[in-house]
Amino acid sequence: MATATVKEIFDLLRDDLAAIEQELGRDASSSVSTITEIAEYLREGGGKRIRPSLLLLSAHTLGYADRGAIRLGAVVEMVHTATLVHDDIIDGADMRRGRPSPNTTWGNEKCVLAGDWLYMQAFKVALEEKNLRVLDLLIELTQQMVEGELLQIQKLGKAVSEAEYYDLIYRKTACLFAVSMRLGAVLAGATEEQEASLAAYGRAVGLAFQIVDDVLDLTATEEVLGKPVASDLREGKATLSVIHAHDHGTAADRQAIQKVLDDRSFTRVSREHIQEILDRNGSVEYAMAAAGRYARQALQALAPLPDSDFKRALLWLPDFVVARDK
């Protein structure tokens, strides 16, 4: 099948995404003004709404067009937003999408509780579906994401293996992509094979998305990123390009990378030196090739599904994820 164009995808999802924004405005409102202010601040900060879009496309590909997709689209976005709030606190981040992160405005204590509230509100809204399978998926998802965050903290400052890296990014990112696809499939009454295909697609797209995100952290400008360049390295996180350079570079390369991971800064080793190591070892190209392989896996996962405009939209997404610049 030919892939859809950006305009075709926008036309397909425009009304549903507008309905999800309205749902988010209602669901993320609390009698405690601080919670509403933080939630609204994050919602106004933009974001690609990829996860709700995946849920919508999954459900519509199998012929589902009821209100549940709007409701659960808002749920997965609230879960995602809650993780962003907590991640910024854990990472000590000052910026989020080019604006001050919520914790710099409201403080860590209020933001921790606002993130907790968003998680619970997501489950409360999901309960309206009266579907235990939906709740089971969301509970397992939340556990995976929390475990991923804890594992990442344990591995800060260490040059982890590729297997450890893939486990981390699955838990922190790809799991939510896969569950978004599963939720759409569950709403549509999918067969086991259909649900498995859609989940495999979500997993592969999610892994590609995070690999590219990690590459952009090293290669994009601060203006594009909306945060300092190489923030991951400054926080002691070894991403795929860095892992490749560490594993395939010289002893001096490994020592330089480890110094940055130890110091959580570029005090002893400059960012330019690290960039030279990555360039010399072809490490960014290696990571992008891995992202490309996952994009192709995603396309292959769709093969058993019936052809439709919604499937064409799903066929477009992996290339967009790999080619994006922010």
Structure tokens at 266: 């570029």
Query: How many CA atoms lie less than 13 Å away from 253 in the CB half-sphere?
Result: 19
**Is residue 1 over pLDDT 90?**
no
Closest alpha carbon to 89 in 77, 72, 104, 73: 104
The mean pLDDT value for 41-52 works out to: 88
Which element (helix H / strand E) includes 115?
helix 108-127
User: pLDDT at position 326, please?
Assistant: 80
Kindly state whether residue 308 falls inside one of the protein's structural domains: yes
Whether the CB-CB separation of 294 and 300 falls below 8 Å is answered with: no
What pLDDT band is residue 311 in, cutting at 50, 70 and 90? Answer: very high
**Is residue 306 over pLDDT 90?**
yes
Per residue in 2-16, pLDDT (tens digit) is 788 888 998 999 999
Kindly state whether residue 154 falls inside one of the protein's structural domains: yes
Kindly state whether residue 326 falls inside one of the protein's structural domains: no
Kindly state whether residue 52 falls inside one of the protein's structural domains: yes
- Per the structure, the complete domain to which residue 255 belongs is given by 6-312
| 171 DSSP assignment | I
Kindly state whether residue 108 falls inside one of the protein's structural domains: yes
The mean pLDDT value for 24-33 works out to: 95
What pLDDT band is residue 95 in, cutting at 50, 70 and 90? Answer: confident
Per residue in 249-267, pLDDT (tens digit) is 999 999 999 999 999 999 9
d(CA 209, CA 321): 6
Longest Cα–Cα distance in the chain: 59
**Is residue 68 over pLDDT 90?**
yes
CATH classification of the domain holding 41: 1.10.600.10
Give the orientation angle of helix 175-187 with respect to helix 50-61, to 10 degrees: 30
Closest alpha carbon to 8 in 295, 315, 326: 315
Closest alpha carbon to 273 in 255, 258, 288, 256: 256
The mean pLDDT value for 187-195 works out to: 98
Q: Tell which wins on pLDDT, 7 or 215.
A: 215
User: pLDDT at position 225, please?
Assistant: 82
Kindly state whether residue 317 falls inside one of the protein's structural domains: no
User: Which amino acid type is present at position 160?
Assistant: V
The mean pLDDT value for 33-56 works out to: 92
- DSSP track, 181-235: HHHHHHHTT--HHHHHHHHHHHHHHHHHHHHHHHHHHHHS-HHHHTS-TTHHHHT
Kindly state whether residue 324 falls inside one of the protein's structural domains: no
Length of the chain: 326
- Say how many domains are in the chain: 1
d(CA 204, CA 164): 17
User: pLDDT at position 12, please?
Assistant: 95
Kindly state whether residue 142 falls inside one of the protein's structural domains: yes
Give the orientation angle of helix 68-91 with respect to helix 50-61, to 10 degrees: 150
Query: Based on the number of CB atoms within 10 Å of its own CB, is 189 exposed (0-12), middle (13-18) or buried (19 or more)?
Result: exposed
